[in-house]
Structure formats: C-alpha cells, structure tokens
Amino acid sequence: MQSTTPTILIVPGLREHVPGHWQTLLAAKLPNVHSVAPLEHDKLSCTARVDAIDRALASIQGPVIIVAHSAGTMMVAHWAALRANREIQGALLAAPADLETPMPEGYPTTDTLDNHGWLPIPRVALPFPSIVAASSNDPLTRLERARDLAKAWGSRFVELGAVGHLNPASGYGEWPQAEELIRELA
C-alpha cells in the first residue's frame, strides 16, 4: 500500500549538504525525508545530477514533494525537461542560481557550466505545481531573472525580501517559511 503522506525529496545545490543549511535542518526536523545523495564523481556534470535525482526518486514510493535550493532548482528543471518519469506532487524551488549569468568568484564559470551540460536553463512549464521563492538581493540571481524563470516554469512566485542566497553565508540556518510553502504544496 502506498503512503498518502508525501515524502520530501531534498535536492541541494552544487555544494551539496551543508551543515547548518536550512535544507539540512529541515531534513533532520521533518519525518519522511530523503535527500539526493552526494556525488562521488562528476560533481559538475548536469547529467550525473539528474541521474542522482532519478536514483533518489526510485527509492521512494508514494507522493513526492521536491525541495530544491540554488543549482538544485536547475537540476530539477533539467530533470523535468528530460525525464519527468514519475508523478511529483509539487516542488519548492528556493533561491534559484542563474547559471547563465557569471557568478561571483569561487563559483563555476558559465563556460565550465556549459561544458558540463547545464546551459541553457530549461524554460518549459514544469509538469507539476511549483513555487519559486527568491531573494531581492541574491548574489547568484537577480530578482527579475528569478521571476522570469518562475513564469517560464509555470511556478507561483514568492519574493522573500533581502535574504541573500538563503544560506548560512547570508545568515540563514532555519527557514520556517519553507515548511509553510511545503504545506501549501501538500
């Protein structure tokens, strides 16, 4: 018998699971949570990241709500455009990283991302309900770009205010609004 309570699938960004990150804290707090496993090889490969989403989903029975952050939102967009081989109840796509625009030092270049299959960012409607939550001062995505992605994906757009990249470097550990948005998708 399949569970009717959705499983939360955490899809972290390129830096994977970071202690003190709201996704890591959320995973420890909520029941019925799975996370996309960190990659051992091909860490920058978009195809490897999409494959990791498939592997994680294969281990889950019943409804799923995806909770992605940063480049994890792009992984979900690529997965939905290429695979979308199972029903998803909804997705929370927080602080999407605009991989088409040069990012601050320390992040991969657009050429590197292009060479690893990330570009262009898919701009097709997601086949499931979704919410894009974005910051007005995110160093990885201008608010207008996040709004445009939300529109292309058919997502509801939530402006979070000035929360940086919604990560520990921006002063965020706990992010209680995530639970509210997940409940909305459930």
Alpha helices in the chain (DSSP H): 22-29, 46-58, 71-82, 110-115, 143-153, 177-185
For 64, the enclosing helix (H) or strand (E) is strand 64-69
Q: Choose among 55, 23, 21, 26: nearest CA to 39.
A: 55
How are strands ordered across the β-sheet holding 33-35? 33-35, 7-11, 64-69, 90-94, 130-134, 156-159
pLDDT in tens, the chain (186 residues): 445 789 999 999 987 777 889 999 999 999 999 999 888 788 899 999 999 999 999 999 999 999 999 999 999 999 999 887 788 999 999 999 999 999 899 899 999 999 999 999 999 999 999 999 999 999 999 999 999 999 999 999 999 999 999 988 888 888 999 999 999 998
Q: Choose among 3, 131, 126, 127: nearest CA to 60.
A: 3
pLDDT at 1: 41
Helix (H, G, I), strand (E, B) or coil at 173: coil
pLDDT at 40: 79
pLDDT at 111: 96
Of the candidate CATH numbers 3.40.50.1820, 3.40.605.10, 3.30.420.40, 3.30.360.10, the domain formed by 7-185 belongs to: 3.40.50.1820
Report which residue type is found at 139.
P
Interaxial angle between packed helices 177-185 and 22-29, expressed in degrees from 0 to 180 and rounded to the nearest 10: 60
Predicted TM-score (pTM) of the model is 0.94
Q: How far is it, in rounded angstroms, from Cα 4 to Cα 32?
A: 11
Q: Choose among 52, 87, 90: nearest CA to 71.
A: 52
Domains of the chain by residue range: 7-185
Residues paired with 158 in a beta bridge: 133
Burial of residue 146 (number of CB atoms within 10 Å: 0-12, 13-18, 19+): buried
